Amino acid sequence: MKPAFGVKSARIDALAILLHSDNAGNIRETLQFNIDKYLKFKSLPFILDAGHLDNGDNLPLTDIMAMFAVHGLSIVGLRHHLPHWAKYAEAHGLAFIAGNKADLQELPQTEMPNDPIQAAENPIAQPEIDDGILMNDNAAIKTVEMAKMADLVEMVAEEHSENAFDAIDDTTEDIISDERVSLMPAKPTIVVSTPVRTGQQVYAEQADLIVLGIVSPGAEVIADGNIHIYAPLRGRAIAGASGDTKARIFVQSMQAELVSIAGIYRVFDQKLPPHLHRQAVQIELQDDRLAIGAINAE
């Protein structure tokens, strides 16, 4: 008899909701304030990350699931570093994901997130900073080797010497034009020499990523290190995917749908201010918030 179904590995994107409060009213207020942003992810599953909470008895899981379900957002799992929290997941029909307490990331504690629309309508000279409240929960994205096998794009890994910095102490600094510059060992680099088309996904594992062509809307480039895009970025760019908070994203023409560093996201509902939109920018983390600043060549 031919089997009616088979089981194979599946790799999907998921977003984790980091809970800092078990107060249903506060959660509802934050959800309503940001609902336009979250509706962009209706096709993705959500996981409640309760690692910052101590007592699951106080967590109104039924109410939280209902709040999100009203907007078509599906919560499918519960994460916590304490194994006894599995009983709360089971009681509500959720998958339980065992977390690691050491991996908890603190986000800024604010009464309400900044309004992204207001920020876009009031351009300022300083880097634009956005509160990150969504975290990537995708543990396995298409790797470079998988992309090669699928003939996704032509890729060349740059030569990397393990001993290049053997003679340099970790604390060594050089003085260049009266500015102190730290010398850090270089990561291997993956070079993508062709455009990344809509629906394609490239992951530079344990490496920096250089993209020489356009990143189309709906395309995604990911790296555990830095990302350099020498063309328009119209899709998504995720740097520091393994948690490197010092990673940066450099873009020749900023038109992104989404950017992320070390799991902290920003979605662009409207155009950035003129000094950033379609301009060369760099994106980095400052105090656990994404900062977008113009690159001035002069």
Predicted confidence (pLDDT) per residue in 144-174, tens digit: 444 444 444 444 444 444 443 343 344 334 4
Q: Per the confidence metrics, is the pTM higher than 0.85?
A: no
Note the Cα 12 to chain centre separation in Å.
14
Q: What is the mean pLDDT of residues 243-261?
A: 93
Q: How far is CA 272 from CA 83, 248, 288, in A?
A: 43, 18, 20
Q: What is the mean pLDDT of residues 191-210?
A: 90
* The predicted structure's pLDDT at residue 115: 34
- CA separation for the pair 96, 73 (Å, rounded): 18
Q: What single letter denotes the amino acid at residue 197? A: R
- CA separation for the pair 289, 267 (Å, rounded): 13
Could you tell me if 261 and 241 are in contact, meaning their C-beta atoms sit under 8 angstroms apart? Answer: no
Domains with residue ranges and CATH for the chain: 15-104 (3.30.70.260), 144-160+170-294 (2.160.20.70)
Q: Would the pLDDT of 56 be above 60?
A: yes
Mean pLDDT of the residues in the chain: 75
Residue where the block lists tokens 């902290």: 264
Q: Would the pLDDT of 123 be above 70?
A: no
* The predicted structure's pLDDT at residue 101: 60
Q: What is the mean pLDDT of residues 44-71?
A: 90
- CA separation for the pair 83, 94 (Å, rounded): 14
Q: For the stretch 42-70, what's the b/e string if a residue is b when 16 or more beta carbons lie within 10 angstroms of its beta carbon?
A: eebbbbbbbbebeebeebebeebbebbee
Kindly give the pairing relationship between strand 95-98 and strand 289-294: unpaired
* The predicted structure's pLDDT at residue 210: 94
Could you tell me if 215 and 238 are in contact, meaning their C-beta atoms sit under 8 angstroms apart? Answer: no
User: Which is more confident, 124 or 54?
Assistant: 54
- CA separation for the pair 22, 217 (Å, rounded): 36
Q: Would the pLDDT of 183 be above 80?
A: no
Q: Would the pLDDT of 104 be above 70?
A: no
